[in-house]
A and B are shown apart, each in its own frame.
Chain A
């Protein structure tokens, strides 16, 4: 197996496995935000703001995996 083939395989694994954690995390996060809004609809604006910040943090982890996948495809 040449290095390029191994790199392509590894890129698939990197992005695939790296998207599991953030997926679970963002799902939990939005679920809790929905519960919070259902309990107290007046705080909807603030809850939404904090939810977006949390989503950006969790999505950054998935994007680290994407950067690793890009590095594997285009530099090896």
Chain B
């Protein structure tokens, strides 16, 4: 039962400040590597912006147009959406980079550890609630739990259900991302573990192509999960920004 030991953290550089343990583990190492690689890639792609884009600039423009059209203008609307583009683009690229870095053999997927997706989900939850508070005041928070278009006698049923959905939405964001990344890599480890369990190298002939196909599927799932996280964050922000009665 040591499949999940690949997901255990190993401390590389122990650092302790005032009793708080902020040592560098392999999770932080691979998160930094993902961030640096994607930062260098995007800086290289957007280096000398011209009005008539060359081949390199078109890639960045494609990505940003995709984020703008499909994620933000659909969910939040054109006028209000302009100020949310950096946040949603940042979430999308951060989750995509952290998902993709786990495909290198021997690397650690930062989003497979419960810590990273939980932090992102808590950030999205706080942003949605604070936006609701700033835009609509306390009345907005109350209207989230008790919508105005519901007759008063149904509040007994509707308020608990809305309360559960208030907690369940960020929780489902967190679980969806973490479980997708965890399950994908566990399947690959299980395939390789079959070779070790039966102690025969002959099994490697059918198993390695299967593991290769699972790795390709992991590529697809990484991109989809990053897109889903960003789109759902945009959807929740759009719900909070819409004018309520």
Give the interface of A toward B (CB within 8 A): 49, 52-53, 56, 59-60, 63-64, 66-67, 70, 73-74
A67-B228 contact in complex given A74-B1, A74-B4, C-beta closer than 8 Å: no
Q: Which residues of B contact A59 (CB under 8 A)?
A: 176, 180
Q: Which residues of A contact B231 (CB under 8 A)?
A: 53
- Minimum Cβ distance to chain B for residue A47 (Å): 13
Question: What count of chain B residues pass the 8 Å CB interface test?
Answer: 15
Q: Which residues of A contact B70 (CB under 8 A)?
A: 49
Q: Which residues of B contact A64 (CB under 8 A)?
A: 175, 179
Q: Which residues of B contact A53 (CB under 8 A)?
A: 228, 231
Q: Does A63 lie within 8 Å of B176, measured CB to CB?
A: yes
Closest to B4 in A: A74
Q: Does A56 lie within 8 Å of B175, measured CB to CB?
A: no
A-B interface pairs (CB < 8 A), number: 32
Give the interface of B toward A (CB within 8 A): 1, 4, 70, 172, 175-176, 179-180, 182-183, 224-225, 227-228, 231
Q: Does B227 lie within 8 Å of A63, measured CB to CB?
A: no
CA distance A46 to B172 in the complex (A): 24
Q: Which one of B1, B182, B225 contacts A56 once the chains associate, using CB atoms below 8 Å?
A: B225
B interface, by DSSP: helix, strand, loop or mixed? helix
Q: Give 16 CB contacts A-B under 8 Å.
A: A49-B70, A52-B227, A53-B228, A56-B176, A56-B224, A56-B225, A60-B175, A63-B175, A63-B179, A63-B180, A63-B183, A64-B175, A64-B179, A66-B183, A70-B182, A74-B4
Q: Which one of A49, A52, A66, A73 contacts B179 once the chains associate, using CB atoms below 8 Å?
A: A66
Q: Does B228 lie within 8 Å of A52, measured CB to CB?
A: yes
- Minimum Cβ distance to chain A for residue B80 (Å): 21
Q: Which one of A52, A63, A67 contacts B224 once the chains associate, using CB atoms below 8 Å?
A: A52
Q: Which residues of B contact A66 (CB under 8 A)?
A: 179, 183
